[in-house]
């Protein structure tokens, strides 16, 4: 029998691929846009660390998003090797569409949950996420 988490994650990934695909985005593109919207201007290396992806995947996503006019990259005067990424107004519009899709997914997932149950689940998931991110960062190649 398949693991419940595996089934949940597979359906979630397909849902998000479909919603992001309708916007012409890949999953990593959505991750970068959401982070840029929440955090503001960030360097690509920090984005890679926050979304726990390799720098190359993030660089390719940022290039795609920049080509579509959804983000802009700026080289600051203080460090010419660094590129800071931020949303454009068009990127903000796409971010809002992504957030709508995620809210819809949460409505699907949390049907029948009380606010207390949802808060408790979110707290557990936050702790689990912190644990796995810490594990990943402590790996020799992490």
Q: Is the pLDDT of residue 112 over 60?
A: yes
Helix axes 55-67, 27-39, angle to 10 degrees: 80
Four-residue CA torsion sign, 15, 10, 128, 113: positive
Task: Give the rounded percent of residues in the chain with a pLDDT score beyond 90.
Answer: 76
pLDDT-derived band at 48, boundaries 50, 70, 90: very high
pLDDT-derived band at 15, boundaries 50, 70, 90: very high
Q: Provide the CA 133 distance to its chain's centre, in angstroms.
A: 14
Q: Is the pLDDT of residue 133 over 90?
A: no
Q: Is the pLDDT of residue 1 over 60?
A: no
Cα dist from 24 to 28, 30, 106, 107, whole Å = 12, 10, 22, 24
Which residues, in sequence order, are CB contacts of 20 under 8 Å at separation 6+? 26, 27, 29, 30, 98, 101
49-105 pLDDT, tens digit per residue, is 999 899 999 999 999 999 999 999 988 777 767 789 999 999 999 999 999 999 999
């Amino acid at each position: 029998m398949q693991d419940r988490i595996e089934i949940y994650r597979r359906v979630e990934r397909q849902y998000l691929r479909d919603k992001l695909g309708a916007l012409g985005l890949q999953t990593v593109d959505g991750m970068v846009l959401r982070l840029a919207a929440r955090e503001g201007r960030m360097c690509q290396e920090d984005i890679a660390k926050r979304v726990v992806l390799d720098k190359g995947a993030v660089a390719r996503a940022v290039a795609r998003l920049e080509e579509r006019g959804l983000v802009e990259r700026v080289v600051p005067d203080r460090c010419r090797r660094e590129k800071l990424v931020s949303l454009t107004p068009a990127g903000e519009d796409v971010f809002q569409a992504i957030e709508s899709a995620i809210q819809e997914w949460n409505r699907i997932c949390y049907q029948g949950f009380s606010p207390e149950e949802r808060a408790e689940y979110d707290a557990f998931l936050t702790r689990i996420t912190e644990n796995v991110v810490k594990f990943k960062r402590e790996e020799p190649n992490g």
